[in-house]
Each structure stands twice: as structure tokens, then as C-alpha cells.
Amino acid sequence: MSDDTFMGVPREKIPWYPTIDYSKCDFCMECDKFCPHRVYERREGEVKLVVAHPEHCVVFCRACAKTCGPDALSFPSKPETIELIKRLRAEAEGHDA
């Protein structure tokens, strides 16, 4: 299915998803309220929010980070991600050839 690949690369091979810095996160849940793709999930206990579905995250989207007051969300480097995608595409083409 289309949702399983991005730019011809299996989605699970692209490490694009938010990372929560728990030393900054105040569990205001703005990111979870914002994200329509259900990347986050709330939990009982001390850690009240986790990145439960990284594979739902839209590659190159960082919109949730803009809702984060304490700036607790980070994403991988975009240029490095593009390089990785290029490499994986080249490898896939090599296999097809």
C-alpha cells in the first residue's frame, strides 16, 4: 500500500518521527491534540505521553513541534534524511536491475 512507502522507500526504513525530551516536556498534550495522524499516545503514570506510532508520522512534517511551548520535540536532520532516502532508492534500483 502507498502508506507503507515514501518516495519508493519502505516507510519503516526512514527514521522520521518526533523525539520527546522528557526533561523539557510538561505534558501539556498540545502536540497530541494537534497531530491528526495519531503518532502520540497518552499513558498513565509518570510519563504521560509517548511516541507510540512513529510510522504514522508524515516524513518532513514538523508541524507538531510548533505547538510545543517548552520546545521539547525534535526531529532528525532533513538533509541527512534526504541523503538516506536517495541511498535507499539507489540500492533498490540496483536490486531491480
Partner 1 sequence: MMPERYAVLPCNGLDKAVGPLAREIAQVVVEACRGELVCPVLYNNIPALYAKALELPLIVIDGCGTRCASKLAAEHTLKVARKLQVAEALKETGESAGEGLTPDAPRLALCRLLAERLLSAPEEAVALDTDAGFAEPAEYATVTHDKFIFRIPLQGYLFDENHCWARVAGNRVRVGISDYMQQELGDLTFCEPPQMGAEVGQFDAVGSVESVKAVADIISPVSGRVVAVNPAVAESPEIINEDPYGRGWVAELELRDLEGDRALLLDGDGYLALVRQKAADYRP
Write out the residues near partner 1 by the rule CB under 8 A: 1-3, 6-7, 34, 36, 58-63, 65-69, 71, 78-79, 82, 85-86
C-alpha cell at 68: 510545543
Query: Cα(9)–Cα(86) distance, rounded to whole angstroms?
Result: 9
CA–CA distances in Å: residue 79 to residues 10, 16, 59, 60, 61:
18, 12, 12, 10, 14
Nearest to partner 1 of 3, 44 (CB atom) = 3
Nearest to partner 1 of 4, 43 (CB atom) = 4
Nearest to partner 1 of 6, 27 (CB atom) = 6
Nearest to partner 1 of 44, 97 (CB atom) = 97
Min separation Cβ 64 and partner 1, Å: 9
CA–CA distances in Å: residue 51 to residues 7, 16, 76:
23, 12, 14
Min separation Cβ 48 and partner 1, Å: 20
